[in-house]
Amino acid sequence: MKEPWQLTAAEAAAKLQDGALTAEALTRSCLERCAEREAVVKAFTFLDPGLAIRNARRVDKAYAKGVLHGLPLGVKDMIDTADMPTTHNSPLYESLVQGRDAACVGVARGEGAVVFGKTDTVEFAAAGRRALTRNPHDTTRTPGGSSSGSAAAVADGMVPIAFGTQTGGSTIRPASFCGVYAMKPTHGVVNSEGAKRYSHTLDTIGWYGRSPADLHLVARAFRLFGMEAAPATKPVRGLRIALCRGPHWDIAAPESQESLLTAGKRLEVAGAVVEDLTLPASFDTISRAHHIVLYGEGRGAFLQEYLTAPGLLHQDFHDRVLNKEGITAQDMVWAYDHAAACRRLFDALFPGYDAVLAPAAPGEAPVGRQDTGNAIFNSMWTLLHVPCIGIPCIKGPNGLPVGVQVVGPRMGDAALLGVAAAVSPVVDAG
């Protein structure tokens, strides 16, 4: 008999909906798991058991049950919560309590989620200070970043679902390092208001779960385009999968390469049509365009903090504001237009394929807390605005998880969730 904290979000949701489990009982079980593990994993920046239980009881009293009814939710600590402080892992905001929830938190609460606690993050989900969080699979290693605490908390059973954000690779990469599922939806379909801005072109709210069905629940809460009509899953046989090494294959560690090729082989064995995909030459400079947009928009993103409290702002952000990279107006326009052109090229691959299969991370999670891993296998997809779903696949040489990701066309989130549901039992068979 499983403890409630061991249930996936989808498993727990079924019991919560039919009354076999209460929000309070699940929350208490998660709190017990935290009591056991948090001193080691350090996933949370704020966790008040009394408040989490009060939030659960409010949900248990609701007149109607939403899509996320009763599910404890971890919220990355650069996303505003009306009842909990939001520090952004910055000394500048140590005691900040906002008057209202971020839009994504409000939607989750509106759909019955139990706002459980705030999860540690890289400073402003960008640079500077790292989270204290440790990888639950090996506590000498990073869980990845910047959504460090959210990925680790879900991986370790502390919460069934959690919000992250992705501007480079901050949602999908930690999922690979921690061996959990994650979704970065199409840019802009989930309102990112109330999450700290880094780059308006790139910032995307994402979420973690321990099964593709968990991701599907959260996507339903956000009413992504086509969620009502799309099948929750489809047969693997006949799926057309484009195996895409991408422009940075040479810097993927052997276990990352093995993960992608293994996923491809497993799918082929299961009857999918797997074809090698070489992206057009213009994608060779897509990561450069991402870098320009990131640093160019980062100039304005931290100007407020730079002007009002420079002494409490990490040097990384001074460098952004002072444009140490020397990004020009012309660079910005080139990057925007190049991204727009590549988006059209990428979308044109569909419906020829059901999904693109690509590396999710450079390899296993690095040792230590400072290096949260290279975002290069994610940033191009973030700039392309396309939906990505991270799926665990193999174990690396040190026994740590290494995932892959499936990628769809813009606004193709609902169909991609169906593909993820189909391929996950095959790909995540390690």
* 306 counts as binding a copy of itself under rule CB under 8 A: yes
* 206 counts as binding a copy of itself under rule CB under 8 A: no
Listed ranges 127-135, 292-300, 312-320, 394-402: which one lies at the site for a copy of itself (CB under 8 A): 292-300
The contact mask relative to a copy of itself for 345-364 (x = CB under 8 A, - = no) is --x-----------------
Q: Which of 177, 222, 346, 377 binds a copy of itself (CB under 8 A)?
A: 222
Which positions are catalytic? 76, 146, 170
* 66 counts as binding a copy of itself under rule CB under 8 A: yes
Listed ranges 29-37, 264-272, 280-288, 407-415: which one lies at the site for a copy of itself (CB under 8 A): 407-415
Residue 408 Cβ, how far from a copy of itself at the closest point, in Å? 11
The total number of residues shown for the chain amounts to 430
Q: Is 64 exposed, middle or buried (0-12, 13-18, 19+ CB in 10 A)?
A: exposed
Given a contact cutoff of 8 angstroms between Cβ atoms, the answer to whether 86 and 80 are in contact is yes
Given a contact cutoff of 8 angstroms between Cβ atoms, the answer to whether 426 and 265 are in contact is no
Cα separation of 334 and 74, whole Å?
38
* 305 counts as binding a copy of itself under rule CB under 8 A: yes
Q: Which of 265, 324, 328, 368 binds a copy of itself (CB under 8 A)?
A: 328
* 329 counts as binding a copy of itself under rule CB under 8 A: yes
Q: Which of 3, 94, 100, 429 binds a copy of itself (CB under 8 A)?
A: 100
Residue 195 Cβ, how far from a copy of itself at the closest point, in Å? 9
* 91 counts as binding a copy of itself under rule CB under 8 A: no
* 269 counts as binding a copy of itself under rule CB under 8 A: no
Binding site for a copy of itself (CB under 8 A): 66, 93, 96-101, 103, 106-107, 109-111, 188-193, 196-197, 200-201, 222-223, 225-226, 297, 299-301, 303-308, 321, 328-330, 332-333, 336-337, 340-341, 343-344, 347, 409-412
